Amino acid sequence: MATSAQRTVEAVWRIESTRLIAGLARLVRDLGRAEELAQDALVAALEQWPETGVPGNPGAWLMAVAKRRAIDQIRREQRYEQKLAEIGHELRLVDQGAESALDAALVGDIEDDLLRLVFTACHPALSTEAQVALTLRVLGGLTTTEIARAYLVAESTVAQRIVRAKRALAAAGAPFEVPEPAERADRLASVLEVVYLIFNEGYTPTAGDSWVRPALCEEALRLGRILQGLLPNEPEVHGLAALMEIQASRLAARTAPDGTPILLLDQDRSRWDWVLVQRGLAALARAEQLTDRLGPYGLQAAIAACHARARAADQTDWIRIAALYAALAERAPSPVVELNRAVAVAMAFDPAIALDLVDRLRDEPALRGYHLLPSVRGDLLVRLGRTAEARPEFERAAALTRNKREQELLLDRAAACR
């Protein structure tokens, strides 16, 4: 049974691991080594904190331990002098006992370290799948299980991608830096995808006991805003930022005080964060100024804006949402987009038509094991009065999800069909 100190270590790791790895990667210029050093610091915390107590600044404690181990490793290597020159003046200050100077250097650039980490993980030496898996692992702190669920692939596939990605980065000597403008476009699509997947894992976690993980949403929002400043003329950057801002505005309204999920159409919209809504609408307007043909993120932001502009659920412009999903299906075709389009069609027109659209997706390989397919089908059957058929759909969906709160919600819906 976990002690209080162990639970604290786990909580601190969730919060600090990303920044720790990012800071170490800038120090040692090796992503794989940075992650190993961070894990070593975690082990040290698990060993020491139950005896000595949790330090006042646990994040700084982890960084100090990892930093000392990095120095010890470099000293043991035959190429110590070469590594010392690469790391530069900050590490020499540590060698002289002036650790405070290095601490200041690490902290001073922490806001940029995470973005450097994203672009490093999205290096051209990696496949798109490997870029996404690696960044989700080291930046978002997601497990291979969570990444596999997000991408609808096997866990072993994700694990192999991560291992191979680290090896490829080391072999390519990938620099830990934000690329020059000429290179950014090639990596931008993967960067945006990674940031949004991190956001989604916070907005609707694939596993665990919580309906939301706000810290991940906040991290993705922060990265999205940094990208807006870095690439102010990229419409999809603003489109992604708009989408995340508007969706994040609903976080407080998505759960009851006891943590029970509240679905979109049942939410108290006075609890939405209207500052975030306005930020999102402004970002969407900027994206629309930069292009006359919104990309996938811009289109999803426009859909989110339809919900945000409706002060009550029955005022939602579902016809426009259905049209936007049709445009999204043309720009970025996928079974998941088609599933969402079916929901919009049901709300705008006829659930019978939507059920036909969903039934066409039942043999899609990418949707096997995807809990939202039977969940949507069950909802449509309920709306058509076919509750006896809906019940096993909700039960099937509950069996497929690993999120405890979502399981409870789906089982309640199944019970209501009796």
In this predicted model, which residue has the larger pLDDT, 187 or 265? Answer: 265
Residue 312 Ramachandran class (φ > 0 left, ψ -120 to 50 alpha, else beta): beta
355-374 mean pLDDT = 94
31-49 mean pLDDT = 85
Q: What pLDDT score was predicted for residue 267? A: 96
Structure confidence by residue, pLDDT tens digits, 147-198: 887 666 789 999 999 999 988 988 888 777 777 777 777 778 888 988 998 8
Residues contacting 61, CB < 8 A, separation 6+: 45, 55
Specify whether the CB–CB gap between 150 and 193 falls below 8 A. no
Q: Residue 350: is its pLDDT beyond 60?
A: yes
Specify whether the CB–CB gap between 142 and 25 falls below 8 A. no
Q: What pLDDT score was predicted for residue 416? A: 95
Structure confidence by residue, pLDDT tens digits, 397-413: 999 998 999 999 999 99
In terms of DSSP H, where are the helices of 29-109? Answer: 31-52, 58-76, 80-87, 89-95, 99-108
Q: What is the DSSP string of 178-235?
A: PPPHHHHHHHHHHHHHHHHHHHHHHHS-SEES-S--HHHHHHHHHHHHHHHHH-TT-H
Q: Residue 3: is its pLDDT beyond 70?
A: no
- Number of alpha carbons in the 13 Å side-chain half-sphere of residue 258: 3
Q: Residue 339: is its pLDDT beyond 50?
A: yes
Angstrom distance (rounded) from CA 9 to CA 42: 8
For residue 106, what pLDDT band results from cuts at 50, 70 and 90? very low
Structure confidence by residue, pLDDT tens digits, 50-93: 888 888 888 888 888 888 888 877 777 655 566 556 665 554 55
Phi first, then psi: give them for residue 121, nearest 5 degrees.
-70, -20
For residue 36, what pLDDT band results from cuts at 50, 70 and 90? confident
318-334 mean pLDDT = 97
Angstrom distance (rounded) from CA 251 to CA 200: 12
Provide the angle, in degrees to the nearest 10, between the axes of the packed helices 296-309 and 318-331: 170
Q: What average pLDDT does the chain have?
A: 86
Provide the angle, in degrees to the nearest 10, between the axes of the packed helices 214-230 and 4-28: 20
Q: Does pTM top 0.85 for this prediction? A: no
Which residue from 190, 179, 287, 177 is spatially nearest to 243, judged by alpha carbons? 287
Residue 201 Ramachandran class (φ > 0 left, ψ -120 to 50 alpha, else beta): alpha
Q: To 10 degrees, the CA torsion angle through 136, 139, 144, 147?
A: -30
Structure confidence by residue, pLDDT tens digits, 193-245: 889 988 998 899 887 788 888 888 988 898 899 889 878 999 999 999 999 99
Instruction: Number of helices (H) and strands (E) in the chain: give both, helices first.
Output: 21, 2
Retrieve residue 80's tokens. Answer: 């110590």
Q: What pLDDT score was predicted for residue 347? A: 97
Fill in the amino acid letter for 282: A
In this predicted model, which residue has the larger pLDDT, 379 or 134? Answer: 379
